[in-house]
Structure 1
Amino acid sequence: MAAAAGVSRSTFLRYFGTKEDAVLGAFDAHGSQVADALRARPAGEDDWTALRRALDTVVERYHQDPAGALATTRLVRDTPALCARQLEKQHGWRPGLAQALAERHGSSQPATLGETVRAAAALDCLNVAIDHWTASDGRLDLVDLLDEAFAALTQE
């Protein structure tokens, strides 16, 4: 990767600690962007709707460059080290999303167990929707898949 970028390995590693971070660096800001979008949702909106709509910030990136997103998603899903690192990064988003939910509820206290579970479930819905989208070669609509995943949470 360093050679392809025209820099030395040490210069490359100054910017990216690992090869995985080089591939996944674009995902770093997603967690805070989703949390900010969640805080900006209307106060009267229920948590599930607010979480679902806040995830549109991630989905938008898939709409901007579907072919590139599909290629990147396949690379990540098919490479165990990348898949593990992406899940680790997403795990790091959970506290921020849970805290954003707590703030929406007017709390200055740490997020509750329920808020943390809802944040985790929302991220799992995103991952399942992306998995289905990838399996369809991008033919299925990611927004519809994410809506369906969230709807499945409320079905009996």
Structure 2
Amino acid sequence: MTTEPSLWERSRQAAYAEITSVAWRLFLEQGFEQTTIDQIVATAGISRRSFFRYFGTKEDIVLGDLANQGVLVQEALEAIPLSVGPWEALRAALYAVDALEVEAGITLKIAKMMYETPSLRSRSIEKHLHWQSLLAPNIRTRLGIEADQDDPAADAIVASAIACLDVAGELWTRGQGILRLADLYDQAVRAVRTPL
């Protein structure tokens, strides 16, 4: 049985959504770097202190969902039978959370902002390192690697898959969202997996 969120939780979620919406509008109108936290709080009608209850940094507004998506990918990966190979399982997990199916429009604007803003790129890399820590244990199990073994294979596969996703995302963005992200990801993975 699922319990309904409390009034406090619903209020918190509504405030989070409102601050995020205001910030996104400002980011898309005037650019990420040109938008200040002071502008966000003034437009949202909250204090700086309230802002920092919800977000550690301005970058977290853009990339907060990326961290949450890592948990969703982990859950999807764990639902895939261990008989499925590591690369195939990672791809299926990414598909399960719609990480490989995106449409242009607002997503393209967000992606451009992320790839063109150094502070967002570096925070994105931090979030992807978190993904690696979430996904590598499952891949170790798929490869039959004991937890105490010094074997880089699982971490290397996960890091490569994440890098392929990032490269595909950047190409998708530069191409104005015309090509399918999933196809670009598959091409990147083939390049990594093909022996020289």
TM-score (norm 1): 0.88
Aligned to 2:69: 30
Going from structure 1 to structure 2, the CA distance change for 1:117 and 1:55 (only over 3 Å counts) comes to same
Q: Percentage identity across aligned positions?
A: 37
Q: Whole-Å Cα distance in 2 between the matches of residues 95 and 49 of structure 1?
A: 19
2: CA distance, partners of 1:58 / 1:84: 23
Pair 1:59 & 2:59 matched: no
CA 1:39–1:133 in structure 2 vs 1: closer, same or farther (change >3 Å)? Answer: same
Distance 1:60 1:146 in 2: 8
Given that 1:61 and 1:69 are in contact with CA atoms closer than 8 Å, whether structure 2 keeps it comes out as no
Size of the alignment, in residue pairs? 154
Instruction: Select the structure that is richer in helix.
Output: 1
1:117 aligns with 2:152: no
1:95 aligns with 2:133: yes
Equivalent residue letter for 2:171: H
Match of 2:119 in 1: 81
* Structure 2 unmatched ranges of 5 or more: 1-39
Larger radius of gyration: 2
Measure the CA separation in 1 of the matches of 2:148 and 2:177: 38
The question of 1:131 aligning with 2:170 is answered yes
Q: Distance in 2 between matches of 1:32 and 1:106?
A: 23
Moved over 6 A (4+): none
Please tell me whether the aligned partners of residues 102 and 108 of structure 1 are also in contact (alpha carbons under 8 angstroms).
Answer: yes
Residue number among 41, 46, 64 corresponding to 1:2 in the alignment: 41
- Rounded Cα–Cα distance in structure 2 between residues aligned with 1:130 and 1:154: 19
AA matched with 1:29: N
How far off is 1:83 after superposition? Answer: 1.0
Tell me which residue corresponds to 1:152: 191
Deviations 1:55-114 (A, max 9, x none): 222525624xx3121111111111111111111111111111101212345667268411
Segments of 5+ residues of structure 1 without an aligned counterpart are none
Contact 1:39 1:101 (C-alpha < 8 Å) held by counterparts: no
